Structure formats: C-alpha cells, structure tokens
Amino acid sequence: MHSILKTSLAALVAAGVTASPAAADGHALSGELNIISDMSNPAPRAVMEGMVEDFDALHPELEVNLTIVDREAWKTQIRNALGANPPDVVNWYAANRMRPYVDAGLFADISDLWAEPEFEALSSTKGAMTLDGAQWGVPYTYYQWGVYYRKDIFEEYGLNEPSNWDEEKANCQTLLDNGVKCYTIGTKFLWTAGGWFDYINSRTNGYDFHVALARGEIEWTDDRVRQTFANWRELIDMGAFIDDHQTYSWQEALPFMVNGEAASYLMGNFSVAAFRDGGLTDDQLDFYQFPVINPDVDYAEDAPTDTFHIASGAQNMDAAKEFLRFVTSADVQTEINSGSGLGQLPVNANASIDDDKFLKEGFDMLSGNAGGGIMQFFDRDFDAEMASVGMEGLQEFMVFPDNLDDILGRLEETRQRIYN
C-alpha cells in the first residue's frame, strides 16, 4: 500500500516535470555548474557565451561558470582538466576520439539521457556517440565535407559539376590545360590529406570497408586499399594538386583558390566563412558532392560532429544533464547553428536550418544522399596512433607516390602492433 502510494506520487511528479520542464527544474537546480569549452574562435565563442547566459537566466538559483580554452590547446589539456577536480561539462569530439576518456572512466555514461523521448530527434548521431553499447555525450553541431569550387572558373571553361570519376578527371584535365590547378590543399598539418583518403577509399570500396579498415580489421597492403591509392594517384600524376602543398596549412592554401590559381578545394563547411572573408561571393563559390568512383557502392560522407560530455567526477550531475538537454533542444539548435552563429548543421531533426545555400545543400546531401553512412573523419575514426602514422604516410604519398609500397608496409606494421 505504502509503496504503491510512493510510486504513484513519483509518477505524478515525473508527469509534472515533463509538463513544464524548465519551471520544475528551475527550482530544483542550484549550486554551481562548471563548463570548460574549446569554442575559442570568435564566432563560436560568442555562441557559447550566449548559450550559457540563456541557460543561466533559465535557472536563477544556479551559478554557471564558463571557462573557454584555446581549441588546439584543449586537445592536450583535456586530460589534466578531467583528472583532478574536474568540471561538470566539457567539449570534445565524437567517435573514436572519445575512446581514451571512456576507457579511463573520465566521461560519464549518459545512456539514461539518450533513453528520454526528446532524444529521438538526435537519433542520426547516436551511433557516433556510442562506444561499448553506451552513450557518452551529446552532439551540438556538425558540418558536411565536399568539394567547394569556383563556379565562375568552371563556367569560363564550360565545365559542369562532375557526378563520376571520369567526369572529375576530364574537368581536371581541361583546367590543367588552361593553367589552372584542379585542387588546392595544404598538408603541413596532415589532416587535410585524411579527407582525400576518406573520400577516395569510401567511394572505391564502400563505407563498410572503410570502417573495417579504421577498426584495424583489414590489412593496409590489401589490394582493395591499393586500388584506392591507384585512383588517388591518377589525380596526382595529372598534377591536379597545387605544388608544395606540404608547406602550407589549410588556411595558407586558401589564396590559391581565391586568386583563381586552383579551382576547387575538398574541405569542411567551415571553409565557407574563410572563402567569403577572402572576397569570394556566393556567385563565384559553389559546392558539389564528391563524385562516384565505383558505381556499386553508396555515397558515404564525412560529417564530423562536435560534442558536449559530462565528466564522471562532475559535482552537479543534474545541472550538467539539464544543460545537455538544453543544448540539444530544437530551439537552441536552430539558434546556435544559424548563419549568425556557428553557420553549421543542427543535430536535432526538429530544428530548422538557416537559409544558406551551402547549409541547405549540405543538409540535403547528408539526409538524402549519404546512404552508405556518415564518417567522422580520418583522425576521429582511426585509432590515434594509427591516424598520426597514417596521415604522415598519406602526405608522403601525395608528394612521392612512388614510395607507396614502403608507406603501406609501414602502416601495416603499425596496424599489427596497435590492433593485435
């Protein structure tokens, strides 16, 4: 009798909470909520600060403290931050990049949060947040990758967006004949080459093969991997990429495209802001999905997801979870990913996408034309050590394609050591 009463009372309270979550939690949440964010670039920083301010206003008795750390520095500082006296909420990345912190028990398991009905709207990203059958964080933004190109140059030489590999190469040959490089790229910091590998490999061998390779289940010396490199080499031998790309960062490679010395750039959508800053208008700049290489495999796309996590040593777990609910809610998602905010794609299916041609095209591509699957990116899908050795090999391949056997042998040696 007593327990029945208790249960129904709990149910009643729960119902009340669902009916007016903000009001109910507003009274419940108190104390401090400590957040460390890596959104240090000007636009993301403003978004983060605005978001914290709004959350603070919703919960008058809660004191929200925000610390913003330089994005690059955070990649190494997170370890110390999570170790002693951890904050409640931190920024990080999805997929395999979570692995060390999950294994060390530093990220809190928030599968209960994902079991809530509101999280249905995030289901497309659930896989990227899952390790060992549990969820360890929530996404707040993601962006598509693809080929950004100079529409005016394409028009000048009568070129159309290519849909398959032969057209891609034919376009490239026309550009080269006219003294324009097909692709700009800066591989000094290696990861840009990872994007090319992701695309050529998944277009050649399919998403499942790519993921199996990332998990270390396939030898690097496999003939199918060699086929990927053979396809890539066709472009390298044509001289499709700008010279001396190993000396440039991705930003330093931008002027080649802005000046019209190169016609396109395989990049993430964050580059659009840089192109616009460089003086390209939306009439000059356009986007196409990386073309089909092997018609038997479905499109797979790189769409890296940035995330929030709760530290397992969080002092204020309730407030931290409420903050994650807040960040992923449809309204907040619409607002922070708008063109005046991050200018990226919202993770909540009920959020609306800003009226920007690149965002719209990207969203349509990812939701309608990425049947193969969504990749996080080379350095997030592969094991960290494999990724660093791998990207170095990819850079070497782009400069000295003849060294391929040596490079693949080295990668295979690394794979065997790491995964066995």
Partner 1 sequence: MATAAPTRSWYKRNEIAITPWLFLLPAMIFFAVYVIIPIGQSFWISLHDWDGLGEKTWVGTANYERLLGIGDQNMDRKFTVSFWNNLKWLILYLLAIPAGLFIALFLNQTVTGIRFYKSMFFFPFVISQVVVGLVFSWFYLPREGLLNAVLAVFGAGPVNILGDPTLATYGIIAAGLWPQTAYCMILYLTGLNAVDPEQVEAARLDGAKGHKMLWYVILPQLKPATFIAFVVTIIGALRSFDLISVMTNGGPFGSTRVLSFYMFEESLSEFGFRMGYGAAIAVVLFFLMLGFITYFLYSMYRDEKGAH
Read out DSSP for 34-72? EEEE---SHHHHHHHHHHHHHHHHH-TTEEEEEEE--HH
Measured between alpha carbons, how far is 374 from 198 in angstroms, rounded to an integer?
11
* Site residues (CB under 8 A) for partner 1, limited to 83-112: 83, 100-101, 103-104, 106
Q: How far, in whole angstroms, is CA 169 from its chain's centroid?
A: 28
Backbone phi and psi for residue 141, each to the nearest 5 degrees, phi listed first: -160, 155
Q: Is 410 in the site for partner 1 (CB under 8 A)?
A: yes
Instruction: Pick one of 392, 401, 404, 412: the residue that binds partner 1 (CB under 8 A).
Output: 392
Q: Do the bridges between strand 89-93 and strand 31-37 make them parallel or antiparallel, or are there none, so unpaired?
A: parallel
What is d(CA 194, CA 394) in angstroms, rounded to the nearest whole number? 7
C-beta of 8: minimal distance to partner 1 in Å? 45
- Name beta bridge partners: 288: 147
Our finding on whether 243 is near partner 1 (CB under 8 A) is: yes
If one asks whether residue 79 binds partner 1 (CB under 8 A), the answer comes out as: yes
**CB closer to partner 1, 3 vs 76:** 76
CB 135 within 8 A of CB 278: no
Nearer Cβ to partner 1 (101/114): 101
Judged by beta carbon, residue 60 or residue 83, the one nearer partner 1 is: 83
For 33, 63, 199, 406, the CA distances from 246, given in Å and listed in that order, are 43, 47, 20, 19
What are the beta bridge partners of residue 256?
A: none
Q: Which is nearer to partner 1, 312 or 334 (CB)?
A: 312
Helix (H) or strand (E) holding 362: helix 357-368
Least separation, in Å, of the C-beta of 185 and partner 1? 13
Q: Minimum CB separation from partner 1 for residue 284, in Å?
A: 23
Q: Which stretch binds partner 1 (CB under 8 A): 31-39, 72-80, 122-130, 292-300?
A: 72-80
> Distance between CA 213 and CA 323 in Å, rounded?
36
Minimum CB–partner distance for residue 345 and partner 1 (Å): 25
| Nearer to partner 1 (CB atom), residue 226 or residue 410 | 410
H runs (alpha helix) in 20-177: 21-28, 42-58, 71-83, 99-103, 111-114, 126-129, 151-156, 165-177
Position among 246, 329, 334, 350 found at the interface with partner 1 (CB under 8 A): 246
What is the total count of residues that contact partner 1 (CB under 8 A)?
Answer: 29
Nearer to partner 1, 56 or 109 (CB): 109
CB of 33 to partner 1, least distance (A): 24
Binders of partner 1 in range 291-350 (CB under 8 A): none
Distance CA 376, CA 294 (A): 21
* Residue ranges in 8-37 that form contacts with partner 1 under rule CB under 8 A: none
Minimum CB separation of residue 268 from partner 1 in Å reads 17
Segment 155-214, which members bind partner 1 (CB under 8 A)?
188-190
CA 178 to CA 262: how far, in whole Å? 11
Stretch that binds partner 1, among 33-41, 178-186, 363-371, 377-385 (CB under 8 A): 377-385
Q: Which long-range contacts (CB under 8 A, 24 or more apart) does 52-60 make?
A: 54/332, 55/323, 55/326, 58/22, 58/26, 58/326, 59/25, 59/26, 59/29, 59/319, 59/322, 60/26
Instruction: Kindly tell me which of 100 and 239 has the beta carbon lying closer to partner 1.
Output: 100
Task: Return residues touching partner 1 (CB under 8 A).
Answer: 75-76, 79, 83, 100-101, 103-104, 106, 188-190, 243-244, 246-247, 379, 384-385, 387-388, 392-393, 395-396, 399, 410, 413, 417
